[in-house]
Amino acid sequence: MENPGYCSGSFDSLHHPRVIDEVADDDDDDEMVDIAGATLDFSSTDDVPPLSSASGARTAAGVNGTGPSKLVDPLEDLLPGVGTYEDFNTIDWVREKSKDRDRHREITNKSRRSTVDLLISVSDAFSGWLLMLLVGLMSGALAGGIDIAAHWLTDMKEGVCLIGFWFNHEHCCWNSNETTFQERDRCPQWQSWAELITGTPEGAFAYIVNYLMYIFWALLFAFLAVALVRAFAPYACGSGIPEIKTILSGFIIRGYLGKWTLIIKTITLVLAVSSGLSLGKEGPLVHVACCCANILCHLFTKYRKNEAKRREVLSAAAAVGVSVAFGAPIGGVLFSLEEVSYYFPLKTLWRSFFAALVAAFTLRSINPFGNSRLVLFYVEFHAPWHLVELAPFILLGIFGGLWGALFIRANIAWCRRRKTTRLGHYAVTEVLVVAAVTALLAFPNSYTRMSGAELISELFNDCSLLDSSQLCGYKQPANTSETGVGNSLADRPAGEGLYTALWQLALALVFKILITVITFGMKVPSGLFIPSMAVGAIAGRLLGVGMEQLAYYHHDWFIFKGWCETKGSKPEMFRLNPLGGGVTRMTVSLVVIMFELTGGLEYIVPLMAATMTSKWVADAFGREGIYEAHIRLNGYPFLEPKEEFDHSSLAVDVMRPRRSDPALAMLTQEGMTVGEVEALVESTRYSGFPVVVSQESQRLVGFVLRRDLLISIDNARKRQDGVVSASQVVFTEHVPPHAADGPPPLRLRGIMDLSPFTVTDHTPMDITVDIFRKLGLRQCLVTHNGKLLGIITKKDILKHMAHIANRDPDSILFN
């Protein structure tokens, strides 16, 4: 299937319903598509239909009210399809949650009747926990598999294991008897490609062979990744977090969390990471975990049939993704809370935490790195910090903020270019070119040749006296014996090796910054955490060494006085540089992730200072994080929960119809014929219609969704005798007497929402936006002194906000 510009955000082609159908068909994502055709059949299989029983109870309870004596008529059984949503539409949180409460109430009421029903009720209550357990286990296992496979393929670029090609470098030498402790990563069983082909591991020719093989494998992996994504699951590209944010806010993108996406994303993630492109696996792991959760939801009716409940599970899955990516369960939960989730009740907090723990421990039992740690770059140190050291941390924060702002602008500009120009048509070529350039430039520099995680691990490393790494290439002071080991470690002048390493690091920094801008958003799975952590770690190490040398040569400077005397300078501490704060605008969760990585509260204050600074600096250049920017680029209907609506418009300014528009399309509760209703629905494209008492009084009765209306009329015409175009459509409780010779009326009160949300025309928009956000509304009706005046949809609000911000209101594509 052909859907070229997808990953750079071009949904334009998808906007048309025809294309959506194609996507659904070609995707072969049956398990997702079936939601569209899902039937609320529990009402027909159970002996007491839930809504009828509920409304019966309501009628009984409603007798003591002051309203009409009988408020709710017994609803007919709901038709298949009524109450479901179309693709690329927003769900109605209130309705979904109310539906779930009805279901829950029914189960609770039944549980008193028999033991079996009680068991059903208990199993229903625990199904959420069971689901969480399964999500944790599956995500943890997948993450472990991805880690192992990526490790193996990455090493494949450099050489092969002669014992068995399925061993990675480390395991190959581990199994060998000839490995010595000094040279753990050197054994005869592991041969570089040059060694295998030319027979000699050294020399210019061997270097060229290795270089070419490196590029060859990089291109092969990249090609496989992009080809698989294009062929089987276009939704598998990118980090997935912008889309998951949108889905969690109540949008429907069918197939985005389906089984094909899961399979292809898992495979291509391994390939993309191994190809050496400047991308990480952390964002995509969140997507993978959400796919697992969505697929597992199908095991439980409670979650399969309710979009709101499903989103609670997905919120928890996002926490699981981060938990396995960083081995940080608490950080994962906070990430889900701070960054991804829209609606996060306390229940979800507990379940997220549980699932994140299960996943972390599954991953630990798989032990992909062979060190009983969950990540490659675990650090642990407890040296106290000095107040002076806050200054470089804040400096790093400023750098991080600038890099974040720059990155977002450049990346969005590039993605927009990809979306709007012919560049979008050459997705495969683009990936191949970028992979080739990356491989070409990365190989000569040892810091870019290694994978992002390895680079961070290397940069996080402490320098011990015996360390052979270039980064620890300090000159040995002549008087080592006099000053003792402690001092000689802390306070040494930089040597030749360190200067080389610094140059290489500086080049790597520039290279990483540039290539990441282009890489993020290509049609392969790509995360942003690792590249931005790598940039941060490089900058931190450079600054750390710089500070150290400055302190070495200027012991007498005032600020260094107390510092050097107590413990000498330490370049290592700046390694923990959470520069992501500028890019993603996460703060607390990032600090907690770092805290979990380091396992100590010691550095939390300088880290917090750096993160907050970088957030503030980046905010000064634009308040959007990278995910929000991508959401906007793609035109998703996402109502940012963090930002306040800061304009003094009223509901009447935003509602439709505007002054110049035709009058609001509405139905009357009686007096319209089926033909008239059909004509009205045909002539408009609105997704719902208010029902009023009469056109004159304009007093609001309820709200009917277009989809429900069409399905009901269609069904009635097929099954119900005598329903023709001239039949009356009746929304009242009591059917008015009709002429004996006329066709029987069609009663549709059952599909009408009797409690539509209304605001008055004077309601300030900030309050209206608050209501939309907090209740998760699709639309809201506007009244003036009790008369219906107009309607506000989520899209109207987003268009209005775009208009205020001088952006193109038509960039909001979906409702």
Instruction: Find the binding residues for a second copy in span 743-802 (CB under 8 A).
Output: 754-756, 758-764, 766-767, 770-771, 774-775, 783-790
User: Binding a second copy by CB under 8 A: which of 226, 286, 330, 666?
Assistant: 330
User: Binding a second copy by CB under 8 A: which of 92, 96, 596, 708?
Assistant: 596
- The phi and psi torsions of 454 (rounded to 5 degrees) equal -65, -40
CB 792 within 8 A of CB 670: no
Cis peptide before 657 (omega within 30 of 0): yes
Q: Which is nearer to a second copy, 161 or 769 (CB)?
A: 769
**N-term to C-term CA, the chain:** 25
Residue 809 in contact with a second copy, rule: CB under 8 A: no
CB 401 within 8 A of CB 407: no
Tokens of 35: 């939601």
User: Binding a second copy by CB under 8 A: which of 24, 42, 52, 62?
Assistant: 62
Q: Which is nearer to a second copy, 80 or 764 (CB)?
A: 764
CB 530 within 8 A of CB 579: no
User: Binding a second copy by CB under 8 A: which of 14, 32, 54, 704?
Assistant: 54
- The radius of gyration of the chain's CA atoms, rounded to the nearest angstrom, is 31
Q: Which is nearer to a second copy, 222 or 316 (CB)?
A: 316
For the bound state, the minimum distance from the C-beta of residue 761 to a second copy, rounded and expressed in Å, comes to 5
Q: Which is nearer to a second copy, 482 or 644 (CB)?
A: 644
Q: Which of the residues 576 through 595 are near a second copy (CB under 8 A)? A: 587-588, 591-592, 595
Buried b (16+ CB within 10 A) or exposed e, 176-214: beebeeeeeeebebbbbbbbeebeebeeeebeebbbebb
How many angstroms separate the CA atoms of 241 and 265, rounded? Answer: 13
User: Binding a second copy by CB under 8 A: which of 148, 156, 262, 333?
Assistant: 333
Q: Cβ of 464: how many Cβ atoms within 10 Å?
A: 10
CB 795 within 8 A of CB 697: no
CB proximity list for 612: less than 8 A, separation 6 or greater: 397, 581, 587
Q: Which is nearer to a second copy, 738 or 787 (CB)?
A: 787
CB proximity list for 8: less than 8 A, separation 6 or greater: 415, 416, 418, 419, 424, 521, 633
Q: Which is nearer to a second copy, 55 or 504 (CB)?
A: 55
Q: Which of the residues 530 through 569 are near a second copy (CB under 8 A)? A: none
Residue 136 in contact with a second copy, rule: CB under 8 A: no
Tokens of 642: 């963090």
Q: Which is nearer to a second copy, 113 or 719 (CB)?
A: 113
CB proximity list for 242: less than 8 A, separation 6 or greater: 627, 628, 630, 631, 634, 636
Residue 693 in contact with a second copy, rule: CB under 8 A: yes
DSSP secondary structure string for all residues of 79-101:
PTTTT---TT-B--HHHHHHHHH
- How many C-alpha atoms does 441 have within 13 Å on its Cβ side? 16
Residue 699 in contact with a second copy, rule: CB under 8 A: yes
Tokens of 373: 């740690």
For the bound state, the minimum distance from the C-beta of residue 805 to a second copy, rounded and expressed in Å, comes to 14
Could you give the 3-state DSSP secondary structure of residue 505? helix
Q: Which is nearer to a second copy, 401 or 790 (CB)?
A: 790
Q: Which is nearer to a second copy, 187 or 594 (CB)?
A: 594
Residue 40 in contact with a second copy, rule: CB under 8 A: no
Write the binding mask 140 to 179 for a second copy: x where contact by CB under 8 A, - elsewhere.
----------------------------------------
Q: Which of the residues 345 through 364 are near a second copy (CB under 8 A)? A: 345-347, 349-350, 353-354, 357, 360-361
For the bound state, the minimum distance from the C-beta of residue 592 to a second copy, rounded and expressed in Å, comes to 6
Q: Which is nearer to a second copy, 9 or 750 (CB)?
A: 750
- How many C-alpha atoms does 279 have within 13 Å on its Cβ side? 32
Q: Which is nearer to a second copy, 97 or 799 (CB)?
A: 97
Give the interface segment with a second copy, choosing from 339-347, 488-496, 531-539, 625-633 (CB under 8 A).
339-347
Residue 58 in contact with a second copy, rule: CB under 8 A: yes
Residue 135 in contact with a second copy, rule: CB under 8 A: no
Residue 608 in contact with a second copy, rule: CB under 8 A: yes
Q: Which of the residues 652 through 691 are near a second copy (CB under 8 A)? A: 652-653, 655, 657-659
How many angstroms separate the CA atoms of 768 and 685, rounded? Answer: 24
Residue 124 in contact with a second copy, rule: CB under 8 A: no
CB 258 within 8 A of CB 511: no
Q: Which is nearer to a second copy, 88 or 757 (CB)?
A: 757
Give the interface segment with a second copy, choosing from 325-333, 477-485, 513-521, 626-634 (CB under 8 A).
325-333
Give the amino acid at 352.
Answer: S
How many amino acids of this chain bind a second copy (CB under 8 A)? Answer: 95
Q: Which of the residues 287 through 306 are near a second copy (CB under 8 A)? A: none
Q: Which is nearer to a second copy, 451 or 698 (CB)?
A: 698
Residue 648 in contact with a second copy, rule: CB under 8 A: yes
Q: Which is nearer to a second copy, 291 or 357 (CB)?
A: 357
User: Binding a second copy by CB under 8 A: which of 700, 729, 801, 812?
Assistant: 700
User: Binding a second copy by CB under 8 A: which of 48, 57, 550, 559?
Assistant: 57
User: Binding a second copy by CB under 8 A: which of 15, 16, 70, 101?
Assistant: 101
The length of the chain is 815
Nearest of 755, 801, 799 to residue 781 by alpha carbon: 755
Nearest of 334, 340, 337 to residue 242 by alpha carbon: 340
Give the interface segment with a second copy, choosing from 174-182, 196-204, 278-286, 638-646 (CB under 8 A).
638-646
For the bound state, the minimum distance from the C-beta of residue 292 to a second copy, rounded and expressed in Å, comes to 20
3-state per-residue secondary structure call for 244-262:
HHHHHCCECCCCCCCHHHH
How many angstroms separate the CA atoms of 355 and 412, rounded? Answer: 34
User: Binding a second copy by CB under 8 A: which of 164, 370, 600, 671?
Assistant: 600
CB 75 within 8 A of CB 52: yes
CB 562 within 8 A of CB 592: no
Residue 180 in contact with a second copy, rule: CB under 8 A: no
CB 505 within 8 A of CB 542: yes
Residue 74 in contact with a second copy, rule: CB under 8 A: no
